[in-house]
Amino acid sequence: MEWDTTLRPILSSLGLELYDVEFSAGTLNVVVNRPGGVDLESLTKANRAISAWLDANDPIAGRFTLDVSSPGLERRLRTPAHFHGAVGELVTLRELRGGEPTRRLEGTLLGANETSLTIDDNDLGSLSVNLDRIERARTVFAWGATKPVTSKGAKASSTSKKG
């Protein structure tokens, strides 16, 4: 199922952007955002609109849980667009290095494109990392820093009773 093309118009009508979507272990995880962050009322409206579409179109066989949330202060980075949107922010990532031990990097994300990123690692300086070698990555919230303009980390969930 091509979730991006299905969910973007639904969310756009509510003034929200689709940040990420993933179906895993019986849960459809939908992460939404908008400039200034997302409040609980917006998440509830998004949950209801997506749930109504799912009920009408039945794209998932059997029971599943719909989880609609905001990216939060420390948001997961998975796609080239996620990395591009985090340029200038503090990030942490785990880099897979073939036969060598996995390397943990943390520092300011200097740039990103479709295949790689450049990070100013706190210990190693400026490094380029291929996106396909990143096991996991996220932004890092620095306590005591200026107030972020990201989402509030709220969440709304529902369970479908199909099947």
Residue 101 belongs to a domain with what CATH number?
A: 2.30.30.100
Residue 63 has pLDDT above 80, yes or no: yes
| Residue 67 and residue 110 in one domain | no
Res. 56 pLDDT band, cuts 50 70 90: very high
- Same domain for 60 and 86, yes or no, is no
Are 153 and 126 contained in the same domain? no
CATH classification of the domain holding 31: 3.30.300.70
Count of structural domains within the chain: 2
Q: Do 10 and 67 share a domain, yes or no?
A: yes
Q: Residue 98: is its pLDDT beyond 80?
A: yes
Question: What average pLDDT score do residues 47-54 get?
Answer: 96
The percentage of the chain sitting over the pLDDT mark of 90, rounded to a whole number, equals 71
Q: What pLDDT is recorded for position 155?
A: 57
State whether 67 and 89 are in the same domain: no
pLDDT tens digits, one per residue of 74-88: 899 999 999 999 999
pLDDT for 145: 57
pLDDT at 79: 92
Residue 21: its pLDDT value, please?
93
Between 72 and 138, name the one with better pLDDT.
Answer: 138
Return the ∠ at Cα 46 (arms to 41 and 52), rounded to 5°: 130
Residues 53, 12 within the same domain: yes
pLDDT on residue 151: 46
In this structure, are 44 and 19 located in the same domain? Answer: yes
**What's the rounded Cα separation, in Å, for the pair 58 and 54?**
5
| Residue 100 structural domain | 80-139
Q: What pLDDT does 88 receive? A: 94
Name the residue with higher pLDDT: 1 or 102. Answer: 102
- The pLDDT tens digits of the residues spanning 102-135 come to 999 999 999 999 999 999 999 999 999 999 999 9
Say whether both 51 and 99 belong to one domain: no
- What is the pLDDT at residue 146? 57
Residue 52 sits in the same domain as residue 103 = no
| 93 and 68 inside one domain | no
